[in-house]
Structure 1
Amino acid sequence: MTLKQKVQVVLFKPQGSIDLQGGIALGDEMATVTPQPHQLWVIDLAEVDFLDSSGLVPLVQELKAARQSGCRLVLCNVKAPVRLILELTQLDSVFEIFDTYDDILTIANNNQSLVLAG
């Protein structure tokens, strides 16, 4: 008999810019969710056209908080300008980045690779 833990997906969809103001707003929105072990937090960046260094701080803080709570935080639909900032800061190797939201759901539903790196 095999038991699979159902993964709860929590989706965040920021819009516009993730700068100081946008980063604080995203952090505030994420803080309203009580983290539970085995949750999958997805930040869908499809509608984000700009990310700067002050916007990176809340992203990194939320990644750290998610990991400490036993959650997994991933990014998807990252546009070229935002991806460039992540690459220049080498955060593309820290965050799990998926091309689409459907790619994440496929992995979550198959319960593959859901071991948290710690």
Structure 2
Amino acid sequence: MPATLSYPKTTTIFPQGSLNAANAAEFQQDLTTALQDSHTQALIVNLGQIESLDSAGLMALVSSLKLAHKLGCVMSLCSVPPAIKIIFELTQLDQVFEILDSHVVKF
């Protein structure tokens, strides 16, 4: 019997610039759309190009993580810049999100 490897469909989102009150609703909609795609089993949010993050941006990520759990999807963050990672640590959201060093998904 041959071995079979099954890889889930992974969707990656690459936001840029600032995630703040001005664009958090649009960002959250992008995440929701990606998660609701019937083929998406894992969502990676690559924060490598994010310069700033405020509470509205954090809430968009948290709401999307809740939706991912509800839909049975994996949601991870990767390439988080040090200045942004501090925000996750101060809010203790680094204990909630899976934060990867690079664009690799763990299952």
Fold in common (TM above 0.5) = yes
TM interval, shorter chain, is: 0.7 to 0.9
Alignment-derived partner of residue 68 in structure 1? 70
Is 1:92 the counterpart of 2:94? The answer is yes
Pick closer, same or farther for the CA change 1:82–1:15 going to 2, 3 Å.
Answer: same
TM superposition shift of 1:36: 3.7
Moved over 4 A (4+): none
Q: Secondary structure at 1:84's aligned position in 2?
A: helix
Q: Secondary structure at 2:12's aligned position in 1?
A: strand
Mark the runs of 5 or more structure 1 residues left unpaired by the alignment: 108-113
Alignment-derived partner of residue 57 in structure 1? 59
TM superposition shift of 1:87: 0.5
TM-score normalised over the length of structure 2: 0.87
User: Which amino acid is 2:62 matched to?
Assistant: V
User: Which amino acid is 1:63 matched to?
Assistant: L
Mark the runs of 5 or more structure 2 residues left unpaired by the alignment: none
User: Which amino acid is 1:25 matched to?
Assistant: E
TM-score normalised over the length of structure 1: 0.80
Q: Percent identity?
A: 33
Pick closer, same or farther for the CA change 1:17–1:38 going to 2, 3 Å.
Answer: closer
For 2:40 and 2:4, locate their aligned partners in 1 and report how far apart those are by CA, in whole Å.
Answer: 14
1:75-118 deviation line (CA, Å, top 9, x unaligned): 001001110110000000100001111xx15x4xxxxxx2xxxx
For 2:93 and 2:64, locate their aligned partners in 1 and report how far apart those are by CA, in whole Å.
Answer: 13
TM superposition shift of 1:4: 3.8
User: Which amino acid is 2:101 matched to?
Assistant: D
- What root-mean-square deviation, in Å, do the aligned CA atoms of Structure 1 and Structure 2 show? 1.8
Alignment-derived partner of residue 21 in structure 1? 22
